[in-house]
Amino acid sequence: MPLLFFILLIIYFHLIVCIKVDIERKHKFLFLNTKLLKKDNIKRCCRKINKKRIFTVQYVKGIRNFINPTNYEKREYLFNIWKKIAENFSFSFYDLPILESYDLFRKSPINESYDFIKNNKHLILRPEITPQLIRYLYINDNLLQDYREQEKKIKTKQKNNNNNDGYGDYHHYHGGDYDDYDDCSIKQWDSINKVKTKYTHIYHTNKYNENFSVHHKQNKSDMYSFNFKNSFHNNYEHTSDFINNMYKKKKKKIFKYENFNKIFKMCTIGQCFRYEQTSRLRKREHYQWNLDILGIENIYAEVELLSMLITFFNKVHMDEKHIVIKLNHKYIIEYILYSIFQKDMDNLFSYNKMKQEIQNILHILDKFYKVNNSSFKLLLYKKFQYLQKENIRYLYNILQNIKHINHLEKFVKCHNTNIYYKNIDTSTHFNNFKNVFTYFQQANLNNFFKLDLTIVRGMDYYNNMVFEIYYKKDKSHRAICGGGRYNFFLNNNKIYAVGCAMGDVVITDLLFNNNKKNNSFLSISEQNKTIIIFMCYLTFHIFII
């Protein structure tokens, strides 16, 4: 009996200590009361803390913290599953810096970005990871950066020289700026390109001295009429031609040609930042499971990525009853828009301008399910007033009724096969797209997939099959995952690439908030608390008996 009482006492004290530790962790950094932040209480606060400086401890809006052990364990639980699946599919892991040069993301369509200028350098917190990966695999960034710096110096010198003219130009150049430019710029390019520029420098100095002697023979009245500026620009054009020739010779070394024909399967879990409107499922930072397969032309790359995602959802006990994978082909939907609105655009735009207009219409298709029927049609008509209302209604019916790959096949066959959008046969793209459905149908996984012509993805660099994954039971949720094929060209070499990304915000909310009954995760701290409570119950029950 005393032994049981002693055990119960120890468990009771242990429980108190655990609760105390949890409270200290939660309030570790919150050492200021919210009342102290009011203007009326500032003087009182200063007296109470002996006139020490007040530091307001506030987290940045939309930026999460993982101080709570439970939240940290949830994140690590998710990361471990991602890593194991990538290892099972033989992916290589990599990691790249969060802070990057803004030039890398200049052509990216993401407008919401954290960017700033520091010491005349435009920096950015990366909004995505794909451009970094492409640079890492295919571009020698050190050589490219040297070329860019030299080009910037030459352009700034040229701008400064264009602002000066007349007699003042001569004294300005002769006073040292021109000589410094001639010597320094060529020496810098000499160190990079490892060539001798002795004869070029002699040519410039001789030509400059000839102009100098001619200039001194002129009278003071005719001094301003002499166009010395033209002679300088002739010299400058010669140096620029020389530099451009060296640039063309060394341009081959910028690209890693040995990687152009290789196959890469790359995986990373990185943090990305976007300055967006915050909500429960939208933050200004998130961790992203980035998967990319580069160097495979056929559909096996798409099939492998989709198989990985299905494996992940099976691992977290989510099946076709919970999620749906919506597939679309960006070229096919562009072809549909082109075939419908071709007559409306032929008389107004050229072929290239027509392609740009079709890209603009694609951005509105993303709002098909977010607005009602009349609002969607009105939105198209307001932004593209040259479109006929009958064609807009026809497009709406197509988007609403074509929900199966067989329906899409009938539509493609019924339309004129002589129309070649972007000079590519539509049938080849459609057959590859259909093979993806047939593959998963043979694997008895076709219940996961659904055709949706409104899936276009926000990134404009996707140019083939695209997909997004949604939660079935709650339509208010954002996409869990998204990706597609983004083939691109580097120095006239086509590189095949497929990729997808899954953020941790939406999937964490689904796993640990919506599915509490079927939750396969239980944090270590919660396990300890349940064990202690169970032991207390047993000892109390034995003590009563």
How confident is the model over 472-505, as pLDDT tens digits?
A: 987 777 899 999 999 999 988 999 999 999 999 9
Among candidate residues 96, 107, 98, 99, the one with its CA nearest the CA of residue 135? 96
Q: Tell the residue number behind the tokens 């990361």, with chain if given.
A: 79
For the segment 136-156, what is each residue's pLDDT rounded down to a tens digit? 999 887 665 666 666 666 767
- The per-residue pLDDT string of the chain (545 residues; one tens digit each, 9 = 90 and over) reads 666 666 777 777 666 666 655 555 544 433 444 444 444 554 454 455 444 455 567 788 899 999 899 999 999 999 999 999 999 999 999 999 999 999 888 877 667 889 999 998 999 999 999 999 999 999 887 665 666 666 666 767 666 666 554 444 433 333 333 343 334 433 344 444 443 343 334 333 333 344 433 344 444 444 433 343 343 344 434 444 544 554 554 555 688 999 999 999 999 999 999 998 888 888 999 999 999 999 999 999 999 999 999 999 999 999 999 999 999 999 899 889 988 888 888 888 887 888 888 888 988 888 888 888 888 989 998 889 888 889 999 999 999 999 999 999 888 887 754 555 555 678 888 999 999 999 999 999 999 999 999 998 877 788 899 999 999 987 777 899 999 999 999 988 999 999 999 999 999 999 998 755 445 444 444 444 444 444 554 444 444 44
Is residue 178 marked as binding? no
> Distance between CA atoms of 87 and 93, rounded to whole angstroms?
9
DSSP code per residue over 440-475: HHHTT-GGGEEE-TT---S-TT--SEEEEEEESS-T
Is residue 388 marked as binding? no
Is residue 457 marked as binding? yes
> Distance between CA atoms of 189 and 185, rounded to whole angstroms?
6
> Distance between CA atoms of 535 and 329, rounded to whole angstroms?
58
> Taking a C-beta distance cutoff of 8 angstroms, is the pair 210, 231 a contact?
no
Give burial (CB, 10 Å; 0-12/13-18/19+) of 335: buried
Element (H, E) at 78: helix 69-88
Q: Count how many Cα atoms sit within 13 Å of the Cα of residue 296 in the half-sphere of its side chain.
A: 17
Angle separating helix axes 228-250 and 178-193, nearest 10 degrees? 10
Is residue 461 marked as binding? yes
> Distance between CA atoms of 216 and 171, rounded to whole angstroms?
12
Q: Tell the residue number behind the tokens 């740009």, with chain if given.
A: 356
> Taking a C-beta distance cutoff of 8 angstroms, is the pair 449, 440 a contact?
yes
Instruction: Tell me if residue 261 falls in helix, strand or coil.
Output: coil
> Taking a C-beta distance cutoff of 8 angstroms, is the pair 252, 147 a contact?
no
> Distance between CA atoms of 466 and 286, rounded to whole angstroms?
22
Is residue 462 marked as binding? yes
Q: Tell the residue number behind the tokens 């493609």, with chain if given.
A: 412
Long-range contacts from 66-72, C-beta under 8 angstroms, 24+ separation: 67/25, 67/26, 67/28, 67/29, 68/25, 68/26, 69/25, 69/523, 69/524, 69/525, 70/523, 70/525, 70/526
Is residue 135 marked as binding? no
Token pair of 71 as six digits: 């939240």
